Structure 1
Amino acid sequence: MEFLWAFLVGGAICLIGQVLLDAAKLTPVQMLVVMAIVGIVLDGFHLYEHLVELAGAGATVPLTGFGYSLVHGAMEEGAKGLFKITDGVFEIASTTIVFSILFSVAAALFFKPRGSTG
Protein backbone atom coordinates (compact mmCIF):
# COMPACT_ATOMS: atom_id res chain seq x y z
CA MET A 1 0.00 0.00 0.00
CA GLU A 2 2.89 2.38 0.72
CA PHE A 3 4.11 1.98 -2.88
CA LEU A 4 0.67 2.99 -4.14
CA TRP A 5 0.64 6.11 -1.97
CA ALA A 6 4.19 6.99 -3.03
CA PHE A 7 3.19 6.64 -6.68
CA LEU A 8 -0.02 8.65 -6.31
CA VAL A 9 1.45 11.50 -4.25
CA GLY A 10 4.66 11.70 -6.29
CA GLY A 11 2.64 11.56 -9.50
CA ALA A 12 0.31 14.32 -8.29
CA ILE A 13 3.27 16.56 -7.42
CA CYS A 14 4.81 15.93 -10.85
CA LEU A 15 1.43 16.58 -12.52
CA ILE A 16 1.24 19.96 -10.78
CA GLY A 17 4.76 20.74 -12.01
CA GLN A 18 3.81 19.78 -15.57
CA VAL A 19 0.70 21.97 -15.42
CA LEU A 20 2.87 24.87 -14.30
CA LEU A 21 5.13 24.28 -17.29
CA ASP A 22 2.33 23.91 -19.85
CA ALA A 23 -0.63 26.00 -18.69
CA ALA A 24 1.17 28.73 -16.76
CA LYS A 25 3.99 28.86 -19.35
CA LEU A 26 6.67 28.90 -16.67
CA THR A 27 10.24 28.13 -17.60
CA PRO A 28 11.81 25.05 -15.97
CA VAL A 29 13.83 27.25 -13.61
CA GLN A 30 10.72 29.18 -12.55
CA MET A 31 8.86 25.91 -11.98
CA LEU A 32 11.76 24.60 -9.86
CA VAL A 33 11.66 27.70 -7.69
CA VAL A 34 7.87 27.60 -7.34
CA MET A 35 7.86 23.92 -6.37
CA ALA A 36 10.68 24.38 -3.84
CA ILE A 37 8.84 27.35 -2.30
CA VAL A 38 5.63 25.30 -2.10
CA GLY A 39 7.54 22.63 -0.16
CA ILE A 40 9.01 25.30 2.11
CA VAL A 41 5.64 26.91 2.82
CA LEU A 42 3.89 23.58 3.40
CA ASP A 43 6.60 22.52 5.85
CA GLY A 44 6.41 25.91 7.56
CA PHE A 45 2.78 25.13 8.37
CA HIS A 46 3.68 21.51 9.29
CA LEU A 47 1.58 20.12 6.43
CA TYR A 48 4.32 18.50 4.34
CA GLU A 49 5.24 16.14 7.17
CA HIS A 50 1.87 14.43 6.72
CA LEU A 51 2.65 13.86 3.03
CA VAL A 52 6.05 12.40 3.93
CA GLU A 53 4.48 10.06 6.48
CA LEU A 54 1.86 8.97 3.95
CA ALA A 55 3.93 8.71 0.78
CA GLY A 56 7.58 8.46 1.88
CA ALA A 57 9.80 8.84 -1.19
CA GLY A 58 6.78 9.93 -3.24
CA ALA A 59 6.88 13.17 -1.27
CA THR A 60 10.61 13.57 -0.60
CA VAL A 61 12.03 12.91 -4.08
CA PRO A 62 10.18 15.61 -6.12
CA LEU A 63 11.29 19.25 -6.03
CA THR A 64 8.89 20.09 -3.21
CA GLY A 65 10.76 17.57 -1.07
CA PHE A 66 13.99 19.52 -1.53
CA GLY A 67 12.36 22.67 -0.15
CA TYR A 68 10.90 20.58 2.65
CA SER A 69 14.29 19.11 3.59
CA LEU A 70 15.96 22.53 3.68
CA VAL A 71 13.38 24.10 5.95
CA HIS A 72 12.69 21.05 8.08
CA GLY A 73 16.32 20.80 9.13
CA ALA A 74 16.49 24.52 9.84
CA MET A 75 13.35 24.38 11.96
CA GLU A 76 14.58 21.39 13.96
CA GLU A 77 17.97 22.94 14.68
CA GLY A 78 16.49 26.42 15.14
CA ALA A 79 14.57 25.11 18.13
CA LYS A 80 17.95 24.42 19.78
CA GLY A 81 19.26 27.92 19.21
CA LEU A 82 19.28 30.72 16.66
CA PHE A 83 22.82 30.05 15.45
CA LYS A 84 22.07 26.36 14.79
CA ILE A 85 19.71 27.15 11.90
CA THR A 86 22.43 27.03 9.24
CA ASP A 87 23.60 23.65 10.53
CA GLY A 88 20.10 22.27 10.16
CA VAL A 89 19.70 23.46 6.58
CA PHE A 90 22.61 21.39 5.39
CA GLU A 91 22.15 18.43 7.73
CA ILE A 92 19.15 16.94 5.93
CA ALA A 93 19.66 18.40 2.44
CA SER A 94 23.39 17.76 2.20
CA THR A 95 22.99 14.41 0.43
CA THR A 96 20.76 15.95 -2.24
CA ILE A 97 23.14 18.86 -2.76
CA VAL A 98 26.25 16.67 -2.99
CA PHE A 99 24.74 14.21 -5.47
CA SER A 100 23.31 17.04 -7.58
CA ILE A 101 26.78 18.55 -7.89
CA LEU A 102 28.46 15.19 -8.61
CA PHE A 103 25.95 14.17 -11.29
CA SER A 104 26.14 17.63 -12.89
CA VAL A 105 29.91 17.39 -13.12
CA ALA A 106 29.66 13.85 -14.54
CA ALA A 107 27.11 14.97 -17.14
CA ALA A 108 29.33 17.91 -18.11
CA LEU A 109 32.31 15.61 -18.56
CA PHE A 110 30.56 12.92 -20.61
CA PHE A 111 28.12 14.86 -22.76
CA LYS A 112 28.65 17.59 -25.30
CA PRO A 113 26.13 20.46 -25.17
CA ARG A 114 24.05 21.20 -28.23
CA GLY A 115 25.22 23.96 -30.47
CA SER A 116 28.77 23.86 -29.23
CA THR A 117 31.57 23.97 -31.72
CA GLY A 118 34.89 22.39 -31.57
Structure 2
Amino acid sequence: MEYLTAFVVGGLICAAVQILLDRTKLMPGRVMVLLVCTGSVLGFLGIYEPFQKFAGSGASVPLLGFGNVLWQGVKEAVDKYGFIGAFMGGFTASAVGISAALIFGYIASFVFEPRMKK
Protein backbone atom coordinates (compact mmCIF):
# COMPACT_ATOMS: atom_id res chain seq x y z
CA MET A 1 0.00 0.00 0.00
CA GLU A 2 2.93 2.35 0.69
CA TYR A 3 4.11 1.96 -2.90
CA LEU A 4 0.67 2.79 -4.26
CA THR A 5 0.34 5.86 -2.04
CA ALA A 6 3.80 7.09 -3.06
CA PHE A 7 3.02 6.48 -6.73
CA VAL A 8 -0.32 8.28 -6.61
CA VAL A 9 0.94 11.29 -4.62
CA GLY A 10 4.11 11.64 -6.72
CA GLY A 11 2.03 11.32 -9.88
CA LEU A 12 -0.41 13.98 -8.71
CA ILE A 13 2.46 16.36 -7.94
CA CYS A 14 3.96 15.73 -11.37
CA ALA A 15 0.57 16.11 -13.07
CA ALA A 16 -0.04 19.43 -11.29
CA VAL A 17 3.37 20.68 -12.40
CA GLN A 18 2.74 19.57 -15.98
CA ILE A 19 -0.60 21.39 -16.01
CA LEU A 20 1.15 24.47 -14.63
CA LEU A 21 3.75 24.27 -17.40
CA ASP A 22 1.14 23.73 -20.11
CA ARG A 23 -1.42 26.32 -19.01
CA THR A 24 0.82 29.21 -17.99
CA LYS A 25 3.67 31.09 -19.58
CA LEU A 26 6.03 30.20 -16.75
CA MET A 27 9.38 28.86 -17.89
CA PRO A 28 10.45 25.46 -16.51
CA GLY A 29 13.24 26.96 -14.40
CA ARG A 30 10.81 29.24 -12.64
CA VAL A 31 8.42 26.38 -11.97
CA MET A 32 11.29 24.38 -10.45
CA VAL A 33 12.22 27.30 -8.19
CA LEU A 34 8.55 27.65 -7.27
CA LEU A 35 8.46 23.98 -6.23
CA VAL A 36 11.58 24.25 -4.08
CA CYS A 37 10.30 27.42 -2.41
CA THR A 38 6.88 25.83 -1.84
CA GLY A 39 8.52 22.83 -0.17
CA SER A 40 10.51 25.17 2.08
CA VAL A 41 7.45 27.19 3.05
CA LEU A 42 5.39 24.06 3.73
CA GLY A 43 8.25 22.77 5.90
CA PHE A 44 8.37 26.08 7.78
CA LEU A 45 4.62 25.93 8.41
CA GLY A 46 4.90 22.36 9.70
CA ILE A 47 2.65 20.99 6.95
CA TYR A 48 5.21 19.07 4.94
CA GLU A 49 6.31 16.54 7.57
CA PRO A 50 2.84 14.99 8.09
CA PHE A 51 2.33 15.04 4.32
CA GLN A 52 5.66 13.27 3.82
CA LYS A 53 4.80 10.64 6.45
CA PHE A 54 1.58 9.90 4.58
CA ALA A 55 3.02 9.95 1.05
CA GLY A 56 6.51 8.54 1.67
CA SER A 57 8.77 8.78 -1.36
CA GLY A 58 5.96 10.32 -3.38
CA ALA A 59 6.51 13.49 -1.37
CA SER A 60 10.22 13.29 -0.54
CA VAL A 61 11.60 12.68 -4.03
CA PRO A 62 10.09 15.57 -6.07
CA LEU A 63 11.45 19.10 -5.82
CA LEU A 64 9.01 19.87 -3.02
CA GLY A 65 10.98 17.40 -0.91
CA PHE A 66 14.25 19.09 -1.86
CA GLY A 67 12.89 22.41 -0.62
CA ASN A 68 11.87 20.77 2.63
CA VAL A 69 15.35 19.22 3.02
CA LEU A 70 16.88 22.68 2.56
CA TRP A 71 14.54 24.12 5.19
CA GLN A 72 15.28 21.34 7.69
CA GLY A 73 19.03 21.82 7.19
CA VAL A 74 18.82 25.57 7.70
CA LYS A 75 16.63 25.13 10.78
CA GLU A 76 19.04 22.66 12.39
CA ALA A 77 22.12 24.73 11.54
CA VAL A 78 20.58 27.93 12.93
CA ASP A 79 19.73 26.11 16.16
CA LYS A 80 23.31 24.81 16.40
CA TYR A 81 25.43 27.69 15.02
CA GLY A 82 23.19 30.73 15.19
CA PHE A 83 22.90 33.25 12.36
CA ILE A 84 25.76 31.78 10.31
CA GLY A 85 23.81 28.50 10.15
CA ALA A 86 21.33 30.15 7.80
CA PHE A 87 24.06 30.23 5.18
CA MET A 88 25.51 26.75 5.70
CA GLY A 89 22.54 24.58 6.69
CA GLY A 90 21.07 24.10 3.25
CA PHE A 91 24.42 23.07 1.80
CA THR A 92 25.16 20.46 4.43
CA ALA A 93 21.64 18.99 4.33
CA SER A 94 21.50 18.65 0.56
CA ALA A 95 25.12 17.82 -0.20
CA VAL A 96 24.60 14.06 -0.47
CA GLY A 97 21.67 14.34 -2.87
CA ILE A 98 23.39 16.88 -5.08
CA SER A 99 26.62 14.88 -5.11
CA ALA A 100 24.75 11.69 -6.03
CA ALA A 101 22.97 13.46 -8.90
CA LEU A 102 26.27 14.76 -10.25
CA ILE A 103 28.05 11.40 -9.93
CA PHE A 104 25.23 9.38 -11.50
CA GLY A 105 24.87 11.94 -14.28
CA TYR A 106 28.58 11.66 -14.98
CA ILE A 107 28.38 7.85 -15.04
CA ALA A 108 25.38 8.01 -17.37
CA SER A 109 27.39 10.17 -19.77
CA PHE A 110 29.84 7.28 -20.14
CA VAL A 111 27.11 4.67 -20.65
CA PHE A 112 25.09 6.68 -23.16
CA GLU A 113 26.20 8.93 -25.98
CA PRO A 114 25.63 12.51 -24.83
CA ARG A 115 25.02 15.16 -27.46
CA MET A 116 23.67 18.68 -27.64
CA LYS A 117 20.08 19.23 -28.78
CA LYS A 118 19.68 20.85 -32.18
Asked if these proteins are the same fold (TM beyond 0.5), I'd say yes
Paired position in structure 2 for 1:91? 92
Gaps of 5+ in 1: none
TM-score, length-scaled by structure 2: 0.83
Q: Which residue of 1 aligns with 2:34?
A: 34
Runs of 4+ residues deviating >3 angstroms? 103-110
> Higher mean Cα deviation, 101-110 or 90-99?
101-110
In the TM superposition, what are the counterparts of 1:1-118 in structure 2 within 5 Å? Answer: 1-80=1-80, 81-106=82-107, 110-115=113-118
Secondary structure of the corresponding residue to residue 77 of structure 1: helix
Q: What CA deviation, in whole Å up to 9, does each residue of 1:26-58 have, x standing for no partner? A: 222121111111111111111111111111211
- Displacement after TM superposition at 1:104 (Å): 4.0
The alpha carbon displacement at 1:59 in A equals 0.6
Report the residue type matching 1:10 in the other structure: G
Counterpart amino acid of 2:13?
I
Deviation string, structure 1 residues 54-106 (Cα, Å, up to 9, x no partner): 11211111011111111111112212222233443123211221122224444
Q: How many angstroms apart in 2 are the aligned matches of 1:48 and 1:89? A: 17
After TM superposition, the structure 1 stretch with the greater mean CA deviation from structure 2, 93-102 or 15-24, is 93-102
- Root-mean-square deviation (CA, aligned residues, Å) is 1.9
CA positional deviation for 1:107: 5.2
